[in-house]
Structure 1
Amino acid sequence: MINIFEVNETNKMIEQEMLDVRTITLGISLLDCCDADLDRLNEKIYEKITRVAKNLVSTGRDIELEFGIPIVNKRISVTPIALVGGQACKSPEDFVTIAKTLDRAAKDMGVNFLGGYSALVSKGMTPADENLIRSIPEALAATERVCSSVNIGSTRTGINMDAVKLMGEIILETAAATKDSGSFGCAKLVVFCNAPDDNPFMAGAFHGVTEADAVVNVGVSGPGVVKRALESVRGQSFEILCETVKRTAFKVTRVGQLVAQEASERLGVPFGIVDLSLAPTPAVGDSVAGILEEMGLESVGAPGTTAALALLNDQVKKGGVMASSFVGGLSGAFIPVSEDQGMIDAVLRGALTLEKLEAMTCVCSVGLDMIAIPGNTPATTISGVIADEAAIGMINQKTTAVRLIPAYGKDVGDIVEFGGLWGYAPVQPINRFSCEAFVNRGGRIPAPIHSFKN
């Protein structure tokens, strides 16, 4: 049981070290909304979301006030819409109507974001999958709070290179469709390999088909807490370093467990998982890069960066697992460029390149995240980057993802502003040698041999 003593123990972390519950995410199944009539489908989707989520925001606020724990976002995730809309939607334009319905429901419920405008195509695409994917640029341009994701590969199935090629084109189209906002639509679009179906973090959240009708997931974040803890053991051995990270992760996860239990009980919805992910913000002191530099690196990107990140990710997971029986999602360390002031500074000083970031994704929780690249980057080059990242995930049996932002009309050295938790990003150079002939082969990269375990 979690008691008020444990909550009081975290007061210093909350007040001085930027500990927060990043999100309460209510997952809602829309499978029972399926209908062959598009208008009726949209009505059912709106009714289900607004009925199940009507108390989400007020419950989050009540918990904040009662326990003094900041809950930054209240969010909703839904069943991948390609599955829900397959019967009624015969064109990309039909799917856009669902995106607008989701956006209206999110606004009326007062949530920050709604995830699940998604397709799962790791082995192949149905007509509904392809129509949804082709609708993404218009859907993200026409909505404010809807987030989209596409899972294009897995360790079990291999990589769907037809989907990889298509997603390179879709990302460029989304950048152009949202050019007036710094190509912000791309910030709401994630391409996954091995996507978890219990992820509360946007933009990649969706409610998995194996989940209950509704479930509460909580995402906790505390890079500032970890950095402050490491300051007290500066110069000491790796054993002490690891123990410090693990103990801190334990305490942070206990806060998430408390919030999750309270939200579950008050909403009358089952508790799913706590995701302890060190997700940074642009605020000074709330940086994963700052943690790595506190370990002894002159700058993120220096030799030793990948080893330091591997240590951090592993100890965060170990601490989290000891604090809750239901740790899930992506739990570990995120390395988004635009959302982490330390990462931005490292890019600007020339210490951190796209290639080094790719190497770091071998040991972090997600992948190439919130990275701005020149707007004139070819679609096949973007597809090649997606394929590289998917291969890392497939071979290593881990989740990887790509959230690239080809900033329309911008080139290397320019800055793209997003604002809020999204931050800003310097446009980074990308390898200009072509992979067009490789991407255009079509078909599927087969699963690795260890995929046959069962």
Structure 2
Amino acid sequence: MLNIMEVHETNQMIEQERLDVRTITMGISLLDCVAGTVDEVCSNIYRKIVDKAHDLVATGEAIEREYGIPIVNKRITVTPVSLVGAGACRSSEDFVRIAHTLDRAAKEVGVDLIGGYSALVSKAMTPAEERLIRSLPQALSETDIVCSSVNVGSTKTGIDMNSVELLGHIIKDIAYATRDNDSYGCVKFVAFCNAPDDNPFMAGGFHGVTEGDAVINVGVSGPGVVSRALDAAVGRDFEFLCETIKRTAFKITRVGQLVAQEAARRLGVPFGIIDLSLAPTPAQGDSVGEVLEKIGLAQVGAPGTTAALAMLNDQVKKGGIMASSYVGGLSGAFIPVSEDQVMIDAASAGCLTIEKLEAMTCVCSVGLDMIAIPGETSASTISGIIADEAAIGMVNQKTTAVRVIPVYGKGVGESAEFGGLMGHAPIIPVNQTSCEAFVTRGGRIPAPIHSFKN
């Protein structure tokens, strides 16, 4: 539990520095919902989610009131639906019925988002997994809070280029299906390499098959707290800077640990992990970009940006890992362009380009996140972007991901509005030189040499 000094510091962080718990996420296994018909699967899924999560929102709100700690989102993750529906779903439309069931059950219990309309295809696609992937444009355009992910590669298996090539077309179709809303459907989809089993952050969250029947995961935030702490580090050396970030990350994670343990106790569900990622919002003073600029950059994207982010990510992990028994998920620092006002400004000014963002993904928590690109971008170019990012993750043994939004009918210089935590994004240029002959070869890029460990 927090001691009295930590309580005082926590109150200051909440009141003045925008500290929040970004999400309490209940992971729910749907493996016991498998049945012979789609009707039975949908019925089992609805009943299981409502039974397990009916008190999740009320519990989160009670903890907010009693401890004074803002909890921004309450979420659910479920077992990848491609596995749950494999036996019963004979068409993409069958999988869409499960998407509607997830949407309806999540709304019934009052959560903000539900993740797990997902497929794990890092080596190859089964027919069921391909059906789910092909259902995404309809599923994400016809539901409101369902989120989806596809894991296309891993360090152990390589990259399934058949699914990478398919996803370029699927993302374009999602963008078109939600064209009346700045292609918002693409906000709810992410392509992964090395996806973790216990990610509480959307759109990539799902309940891994290695998890138990139900679990509580918590994602903490707090870039504003780190930014404020760095005011004391002006003119000081890297040793002082790193120590300041570590100490601050420790305090932030302690708050998440408290919330996680309390939520797990009240709900009678085991505590899983704390994801200690610095997750920004569009609000002033709640920005990872601002932290990077306080480290010494005139603007995010300047030379030195990747080094500054690497240091920040490492110190956040070093400080946070001592504050919790179980740290997992993504953990580190997110760089979503649309959700961070300083990043938005840098992208709008042309200082932060997609090439620089790709370099930064080598050292950040996840990857190319919430980036709006011209709607005319070809499917093969999007596939090439996914392949590049997956290769970074595969070779470096880290999680990487791509969440790009080809905004239908809009081009460079215009802006896309997503609302809420998703923010808004300037549409930035993408290298349109063709890579079609590469992404359409078919087959699998083999795992790297250092994957051969057993």
- Assess same fold via TM > 0.5: yes
Does 2:27 correspond to 1:23?
no
Counterpart in 2 of 1:209?
209
1:194·1:399 contact (CA, 8 Å) conserved in 2?
Answer: yes
Show the counterpart of 2:368. 368
- Equivalent residue number for residue 110 of structure 1: 110
Secondary structure at 2:338's aligned position in 1? coil
Equivalent residues in 2 for 1:38-437 (5 A)?
38-437=38-437
Offset of 1:36 from its aligned partner?
Answer: 1.2
CA shift for structure 1 position 232: 1.2
SS, match of residue 322 in structure 1: coil
Q: C-alpha offsets along residues 344-369 of structure 1, whole Å, 9 cap, x if unaligned?
A: 00011111100000000000010000
- Tell me, yes or no, if the aligned pair for 1:20 and 1:220 is still in contact at 8 Å: yes
- Output the CA distance in 2 between the equivalents of 1:210 and 1:53: 20
- For residues 227 and 395 of structure 2, the distance between their equivalents in structure 1, rounded to whole angstroms, comes to 31
TM-fit CA distance, 1:155? 0.2
* Change over 3 Å in CA distance of 1:361–1:55 after alignment to 2: same
**TM-score, normalising length: structure 1:** 0.99
| Matched AA of 2:253 | T
Partner-residue secondary structure (3-state), 1:293: helix
Q: How far 1:53 moved relative to its partner?
A: 0.2
Q: Could you say what the CA RMSD is over the residues aligned between the two structures, in angstroms?
A: 0.7
Counterpart of 1:99 in 2: which secondary structure?
helix
Give 1:5 shift: 4.5
What is the alpha-carbon distance in structure 1 between the residues aligned to residue 124 and residue 360 of structure 2? Answer: 29
Q: What secondary structure, in the 3-state scheme, does the structure 1 residue paired with 2:337 have? A: coil
Number of corresponding residues: 454
Q: CA deviation at 1:210?
A: 0.3
Give CA deviations for 1:65-97 in whole Å, capped at 9, x if unaligned.
110000000000000000000011000000000
In structure 1, runs of 5+ residues without a counterpart are none
What CA distance in whole angstroms lies between the structure 2 residues aligned with 1:32 and 1:426? 44
Q: Distance in 1 between matches of 2:7 and 2:415?
A: 40
Q: Distance in 1 between matches of 2:415 and 2:235?
A: 36
Q: Which amino acid aligns with 2:108?
A: D
TM-score using structure 2 length = 0.99
Structure 2, unmatched stretches of 5+, are: none
Equivalent residue letter for 1:420: G
Amino acid at match of 2:244: T
In 2: Cα distance, 1:4 partner to 1:386 partner:
48
Residue deviations 1:343-401 (CA, integer Å, cap 9, x gap): 00001111110000000000001000000001011100000000000000000000000
Instruction: After superposition, give the CA deviation of every residue in 1:270-299 in whole Å (9 maximum; x if it has no partner).
Output: 000000111100001100000000011000
Question: In the TM superposition, what is the alpha-carbon distance from 1:9 to its structure 2 partner?
Answer: 2.2
Deviation at 1:7, TM superposition (A): 2.9
How far apart, in 1, do the equivalents of 2:63 and 2:281 lie? 22
> What SS does structure 1 have at the residue aligned with 2:290?
helix
Check the 8 A contact 1:7/1:67 in 2, yes or no: no
CA contact (8 A) 1:375 1:411 kept: yes
Contact 1:415 1:426 in 2 (8 A): yes
Deviation at 1:228, TM superposition (A): 0.3
SS of structure 2 residue aligned to 1:338 = helix
Retained in 2: the 8 A contact 1:7–1:255? Answer: no
Q: Which runs of 4+ in 1 moved over 6 A?
A: none
